[in-house]
Amino acid sequence: MRSVAEFYQDCLAAVGQQPPLDVQLADAVTCVLAEDVEAPFNLPVADLAACDGYAVRAQDLAGATPDAPVTLPVTEEVRAGDVNPSALLAGMAIRIASGAPMPSGADAVIALEFTDHGVAKVAARTQPAVGENIRRKAEDVKEGSVVLRKGTRLGARQIALLAGVGRSRVLVHPRPRVVILSIGDELVEPGRQARPGTVFDANGHALSSAIADAGAQTFRVAAVPDERFALSETIEDQLVRADLILTTGGISYGSGDTVREVLGALGTVRFDNVAAWPGHIMGVGTVGGDDNNPGIPIFCLPGDPVSAQVCFEVYVRPALRHMQGWTSVNRPSVRAAVDRSWYSPRGRREFVRVRLSGDPRSGYQAKVMGVPASLLLSALSDSNALAVVPEDVTNVRAGDILQCMVLE
């Protein structure tokens, strides 16, 4: 029997980081940088006005107040995008737009709201400080400096910086393409007519959402029956577009469970009893490989929807983040006091659905959702964390402090 830690390492070892790919900025969102990005120029490229107003010499407005404004002649107007504006002469002002280059000789910008908005001349009601409302050359980014480091996850703020330094493409670890196969004769698509002996395919939809939340691309295949040829053909068809295949169901020891036999012919997959609850039988390996191709990683999860989602959080989500170049692959965790007692299976690490409340200062409380031993979708839906009971603990008591994996 494999421990949770051993199977976790098996899953991480089965996948590698996605090879770097040069993509457009729109396709880089949520991806992890695979290069250091250097600034090719200063940002700003010159001293710029930080607001609409008038470029002045601060000393020329000495003593200006609302009751005693100082009036200066306006010699010209500078707009954003203008190049080489005229120099400012002593005792004069130049109308200037936000983002426009500062005229030489000017050492401040007085904002419009502190003037009468004059055209030929302007009355200023205050004296600006030297440097006021000026964005200095290179104060944001200096030419040649590294603006984003390899390993940075790209969101809207990072994309803005990349575009600001002129990058239209960037080298990233692309989002893995994950194919989901729900296996079982009993499965039907939600929305269709239910029949005796059938269950709706909750796993396909739940795991698609979880995979997207982890930053990967999802390709969900319609439920596959427990029929050897159909399952083998479906898996082989998906190899061309998959970076990872995720199956649910069909891995028990019953005669109708065909996954072990089919995968034995398609690749090298190891099935283990894992010292955990829920999810005590799982598989990990590769399919479609040969001497020149290592094959596509495949994870085989239980068919029960609660077990499948717990196993995804514990084993698959960290592997997906590893594929994307994340350095921190696990969910955050906190210690919380549970609200009830229960018996935990001996020798197994148990993951119990809980609802966390509280804060770092006063401490956290974990309300157990449903009966821990029962696999209840409603309880999973109401939870926002998984309380982890160590393998050597059998009797959990109300008030015990457990480490809790935060899901939201």
Q: Tell me the pLDDT tens digit for each residue of 212-223.
A: 999 999 999 988
Phi, psi of 11 (to 5 degrees): -65, -45
What's the pLDDT score for residue 293? Answer: 82
Copy the structure tokens of residue 52. 């609409």
User: Could you give the residue range(s) of every CATH 2.40.340.10 domain in the chain?
Assistant: 333-406
Could you tell me the CA-to-CA distances from 151 to 29, 38, 98, 322 in Å, in that order? Answer: 13, 14, 35, 11
What's the pLDDT score for residue 261? Answer: 86
Q: Cα torsion for 84, 90, 94, 100, to the nearest 10°?
A: 40
Quick one: CATH architecture of 333-406? Beta Barrel (2.40)
Percent of the chain with pLDDT over 90: 85
What's the pLDDT score for residue 271? Answer: 93
What's the pLDDT score for residue 254? Answer: 64
Q: How much is the pTM?
A: 0.84
Fold of 4-19+174-324: Molybdenum Cofactor Biosythetic Enzyme; Chain A (3.40.980)
235 close to 287: Cβ distance less than 8 angstroms: yes
For 8, residues 6+ apart whose C-beta sits below 8 A from its C-beta are: 314, 315, 318
Q: Which residue stretches of 4-140 are H helix?
A: 4-14, 25-28
The kind and range of the H/E element at 238 are: helix 228-238
Q: For 76-110, give one letter per residue: b (16+ CB within 10 A) or e.
A: eebeeeeeebeebeeebbbbbbbebbbbeebbbbb
List of the chain residues with pLDDT < 70: 253-257
> Can you tell me the distance from the alpha carbon of 32 to that of 303, in angstroms, rounded to the nearest whole number?
32
Q: What superfamily would CATH give domain 48-135? A: Molybdopterin biosynthesis moea protein, domain 3. (2.170.190.11)
Q: What superfamily would CATH give domain 21-43+144-173? A: Molybdopterin biosynthesis moea protein, domain 2 (3.90.105.10)
Q: For 251-270, give one letter per residue: b (16+ CB within 10 A) or e.
A: beeeeebbbeebbeebbebe
User: Could you give the residue range(s) of every CATH 3.40.980.10 domain in the chain?
Assistant: 4-19+174-324
What's the pLDDT score for residue 193? Answer: 79
Could you tell me the CA-to-CA distances from 138 to 42, 85, 356 in Å, in that order? Answer: 5, 19, 46
